[in-house]
Structure 1
Amino acid sequence: MFWNIRGCGHGGRRTQLREFMVKEHIDVVAIQETIKTDFTFRDLLAFDPLQRFEWQWVPSVGHSGGILLGCNKDVCDVLHWDVGVFLLSATIKHRVSRLSWVVVCVYGPADHSRSPAFLLELTTLVGAKRDINLPVVVGGDFNLIRSGADKNNGRIDWTRVSLFNNAIAAAALREAARTGARYTWTNKQMQPVRSVLDRVFFTPEWEALFPMCSLVAETRIGSDHVPLIFSSGEELIRRSPRFYFETAWFEAEGFAQMVVERWGVICAHLGPQRGPAEGWVTAASKLRAYLRGWGAYHGSESKKERARIVEAISLLDLEADCRPFSEAEWAHRYTLEDQVWAPLGKKRDIERMNEAMELIKSSMMKARHGTMAAP
């Protein structure tokens, strides 16, 4: 996943990121414009509550920039990090296939006087990795366009277009075909400027490994950039998601009483057990299964309504790609976006409670292991 998140400290953005990671089964997260100089354990816990990812970052400068890159430790091992000025890369080895490749996250400068330095840094890194026969995939916000079709108005600097295309050719990179949104960035005005600034490229070696790879531009909500979901085309059959108790359930009316009553029913129908431990494990498993189903149903109406609004926004974006929109039509689109975006901040307050619970559990586990390891 490649996404210019436009501020990783915003609670709603973190909620979005976490939802994308779960929904799309993301194994590599590449975030640009974090606007953070550092990430604490609690910051990372906000979108990685099970601590499954290994993280590295490039700090922001003032109120702009910053890159965050994370790799799923269950899927791959990070062999090496390359931290640059405009990019951050991870050389990883897949745990199953034992193949290695490089993922590069870039954030091109908005100050185009620095664009040559950015492209030189990128082509140098890609060249060095190809020299040692490593497949490379490069993605992120390049802050550059490649043709007149990449912008919805005629104000184009063709010198920068040539500079960008020459760098891509020199590195022997191929752009991934994108489906979904036509433009990846907007200034969100009533008569917006829209451009394709976010892209994914790969080397011939990568394409040979993953010939079925694909790229989808998701509907833009909140940020002025769309999230890009890049798939290798080799998705495995996914197991059922791990049960995760939400502390927000305590706020649901009658939840505590429901759990007490359900526990009583379960215990009354357990039948013969070989001992208290087996009885407890069996009862807890049945309660967990019940709560998993209850949690999926709880709030399902609001989830369906949100999905309906996002679908309406997506259709409006497709229509805007085909014809000019009036200011009233753009205002309607932004109003729908606000209806989706506003609840995300409230949801973040609830997730802070979950983060606190995760911190407590983590501290208890560390203390327990420390006690067990003590002589």
Structure 2
Amino acid sequence: MAQRNCQLLNWNVRGLNDGARRDTVNELVRSAGAMIVCLQETKLQIVDQNTITRTFGPQFSNSFAVLPAAQTRGGVLHAVNQDFFVLTANTITATITMRADTVKWQITVVYGPQGDAAKLQFLQELRSISPPEHNRWLILGDFNLIYQAEDKNNSNLNRRLMGSFKASIDYLHLKEIKLNGRCFTWSNEQDNPTLTWIDRVLCTPEWELIFPACFLHSLSSLMSDHTPLLFQGELDHHKDSSFRFENFWNKVDGFHELVNDIWNRQVHSTLPLKRLHIKMARTAKAIKRWRKEKVGDTKLQLALVKEVLLLLELAQEARVLTAQELDLHRRLKARSVGLAVIEKSRNRQRSRITYIRCGDANTKFMPPDKAPGTDGFTGAFFKACWEIIKEDVMAALHCLFNLNSQGFEMLNSANIVLLPKKNRSLKGNRL
């Protein structure tokens, strides 16, 4: 991945107090491919590595900065993917070093206060931050301020504060990165809402030169009343079509009946290992059809929920939503949290490399919800369906125990790669 392919996510999350909300953030970080994450209004007084790992992922757990909440108000959290960046923090202003080329730049994450006097003091504090010598500086977050009339959908404006904010932007020689596709980033979520653009990404011209092809757009608000902002340096696409058993399928109505029906169909071979292979292959194929018809693609469902939410929020910027649209908007927000929990479970299954990287490559770090081989079935499948499959599994194990390996190649395969100890190593003992 190119170093300039930087994905930066900014969001006022309106609280990370419960696991479902953290799972929602985790799914968004993963699906957006975010490598730098800036959150405001976390409402967390204590943030540790466990919190970071659940909210963002283990690759963020050693590189984060926190401004604690005052009781249950405020709170800022800033984390970077340590595979790509090094974070050196001073409260909410930090220096980021890009590992690929050691280029440094400064980032400041803000959460603007309520009240006119507090906002003026906040702007003065921004002015007092010393820019770096290289002048590559990014300031972003929930400013809770606007500086032009079109940043609000009504005429209730505080022009004194607007002027002070604009003057501060000019004083710091900042420019705004254009937000594509949206006019506003916050809604009070009333039937006839007040909409404002208060979540912003500002930078110096020197910082913008690092990402000449940058693109900033908003995502659907999901659990918050603020829309997440996603900064993208470049676009990257990846698709994996291999079969993986999803552990939550065990709890879906009709799953065990499906497995029982497919597993007990006639198999003509008398070889236990071949019989097991055929039954597992049949079951995998049937589950894929069943998932498509009965469960659906939860990742696609979540993407559709996000897209419809985004369209409703865009429509709300131009007109008052109907009662049916408002009801759909509320139900989709609730639905997005449930789908995010499912996606978190799916991603946890696929994190086998994380367990190896976090410790020894032994069974302690390879829990049963991981897929042990290329067939895609996890230990959770064998445990949940044991009463159905146990006779065939035990027959195959007895066959191996008796040193009868006919058909074993169907169940097990591996690639062995020999790595040279020295340059131009051609002999086997040097590999």
When normalised by structure 1's length, the TM-score is 0.75
1:335 deviates by: 1.6
In structure 2, relative to structure 1, the CA distance for the partners of 1:351 and 1:23 (3 Å cut) is closer
Structure 2 residue corresponding to 1:98, chosen from 96, 102, 109:
102
Query: Contact conserved, 1:181 with 1:219, CA < 8 A, in 2?
Result: no
The residue number in structure 1 matching 2:251 is 251
Distance in 2 between the 1:168 and 1:295 partners?
56
In structure 2, relative to structure 1, the CA distance for the partners of 1:354 and 1:20 (3 Å cut) is closer
SS of the residue 1:189 aligns to: coil
Distance in 2 between the 1:294 and 1:42 partners?
37
1:116 deviates by: 2.3
Residue 231 (1) aligns with residue 232 (2): yes
Extract unaligned runs of 5+ from structure 2.
1-8, 365-431
> Quick one: percent identity of the two aligned structures?
26
Q: Which amino acid aligns with 2:334?
A: A
In structure 2, relative to structure 1, the CA distance for the partners of 1:41 and 1:363 (3 Å cut) is farther
Structure 2 residue corresponding to 1:318, chosen from 288, 309, 314:
314
Q: What pairs up with 1:26-105 in 2 under 5 angstroms?
A: 26-53=34-61, 54-78=63-87, 80-83=88-91, 88-105=92-109
Distance in 2 between the 1:350 and 1:319 partners?
29
1:112 deviates by: 2.5
1:189 deviates by: 0.9
CA offset digits 1:164-205 (Å, max 9, x no partner) = 000000000000100122111111111211111100001111
In structure 2, relative to structure 1, the CA distance for the partners of 1:49 and 1:202 (3 Å cut) is closer
Structure 1 residue corresponding to 2:131, chosen from 117, 128, 138:
128
Q: CA RMSD in A?
A: 4.1
Distance in 1 between the 2:20 and 2:155 partners?
34
Query: Contact conserved, 1:11 with 1:348, CA < 8 A, in 2?
Result: no
Q: How many residues align?
A: 340
1:362 deviates by: 6.3
In structure 2, relative to structure 1, the CA distance for the partners of 1:304 and 1:133 (3 Å cut) is closer
The residue number in structure 1 matching 2:21 is 13
CA offset digits 1:201-239 (Å, max 9, x no partner) = 01111112212212101122221110000122x456768
Query: Contact conserved, 2:214 with 2:231, CA < 8 A, in 1?
Result: yes
Distance in 2 between the 1:212 and 1:355 partners?
30
1:256 deviates by: 8.1
Residue 191 (1) aligns with residue 192 (2): yes
The residue number in structure 1 matching 2:121 is 117
Stretch of structure 1 that moved more, 349-358 or 195-204:
349-358
Stretch of structure 1 that moved more, 115-124 or 166-175:
115-124
Distance in 2 between the 1:77 and 1:242 partners?
34
Distance in 2 between the 1:175 and 1:364 partners?
39
Query: Contact conserved, 2:24 with 2:340, CA < 8 A, in 1?
Result: no
SS of the residue 1:128 aligns to: coil
CA offset digits 1:85-129 (Å, max 9, x no partner) = xxx12211111122111222110111221122212222222x432
The residue number in structure 1 matching 2:149 is 148
Distance in 2 between the 1:355 and 1:235 partners?
21
Q: Which amino acid aligns with 2:328?
A: L
Distance in 2 between the 1:112 and 1:221 partners?
29
Distance in 2 between the 1:295 and 1:164 partners?
56
In structure 2, relative to structure 1, the CA distance for the partners of 1:243 and 1:122 (3 Å cut) is farther
Computing the radius of gyration from Cα coordinates, the structure with the larger value is: 2
The residue number in structure 2 matching 1:222 is 223
The residue number in structure 1 matching 2:210 is 209
Q: Which amino acid aligns with 2:181?
A: G
1:73 deviates by: 0.7
SS of the residue 1:15 aligns to: helix
In structure 2, relative to structure 1, the CA distance for the partners of 1:316 and 1:365 (3 Å cut) is closer
In structure 2, relative to structure 1, the CA distance for the partners of 1:50 and 1:250 (3 Å cut) is farther
Q: Which amino acid aligns with 1:184?
A: T
In structure 2, relative to structure 1, the CA distance for the partners of 1:205 and 1:151 (3 Å cut) is same
In structure 2, relative to structure 1, the CA distance for the partners of 1:345 and 1:73 (3 Å cut) is same
In structure 2, relative to structure 1, the CA distance for the partners of 1:186 and 1:223 (3 Å cut) is same
When normalised by structure 2's length, the TM-score is 0.66
In structure 2, relative to structure 1, the CA distance for the partners of 1:151 and 1:308 (3 Å cut) is same
